[in-house]
Amino acid sequence: MEITEAILAFGHKNILATHKTTLAITKETQLSKRGDCIIAVAADKALADLNPKFKKILCRKNAKITISIEGGGILEMVNALGRPKLILTHPKDMVVRKSDYVCSRTLAIGADKAAYDLSRNLVEKLKNPKQKVKITLTVRV
């Protein structure tokens, strides 16, 4: 079984993508340089907005999720895990973590990449506020 969610977001001049254990997408339009895990802003969805069927599948113990990040003709893939302990209720953010820490902002855990691991070519594109970023979440069990 597989289900997909598509999210449209934008780049921002303050995107650094230097966090070594997480990456995040936010509905917020402003970003300070302290938000070093954020890779896209002004997203049209956060965790609270995801389809209930998607969330149900993501919360299965054997769920796997692929996050594709596409901007400026560059595509990056991140693989992570869903789990029953996910809360998936945050109204503004979604965070992918290398660790197994879970809070209301957590989309997935056990990721194979964080913001720091993304292609620097992609990160350069994400520094442009006019850059559209397509994020596709595909969960399967």
Q: Where are the domains of the chain?
A: 2-140
Strands (E), the chain: 2-10, 22-26, 38-40, 64-71, 74-81, 93-97, 106-108, 132-140
pTM of the model: 0.97
Provide CB contacts within 8 A for 42, sequence distance 6+: 9, 10, 27, 28, 29
Pairing relationship of beta strands 22-26 and 38-40 according to DSSP bridges: parallel
Phi, psi for 78 (deg, rounded to 5): -125, 135
Average pLDDT (33-37) is 91
Indicate whether 94 pLDDT > 90.
yes
AA letter at 102 = V
**pLDDT digits 0-9 by tens, 42-91:** 999 999 999 999 999 999 999 999 999 999 999 999 999 999 999 999 99
H-type alpha helices, the chain: 52-58, 120-126
Instruction: Report the percentage of the chain scoring pLDDT > 90.
Output: 97
> What kind of fold does domain 2-140 have according to CATH?
Jelly Rolls (2.60.120)
| pLDDT for the residue numbered 43 | 98
Distance of CA 54 to the CA centre of its chain: 15
Q: Which residues contact 77 (CB under 8 A, 6 or more apart)?
A: 66, 67, 68, 69
pLDDT of amino acid 118: 98
Q: What is the pLDDT of residue 2?
A: 96
What is the residue-averaged pLDDT of the chain?
97
Say yes or no to pLDDT of 33 above 90. no
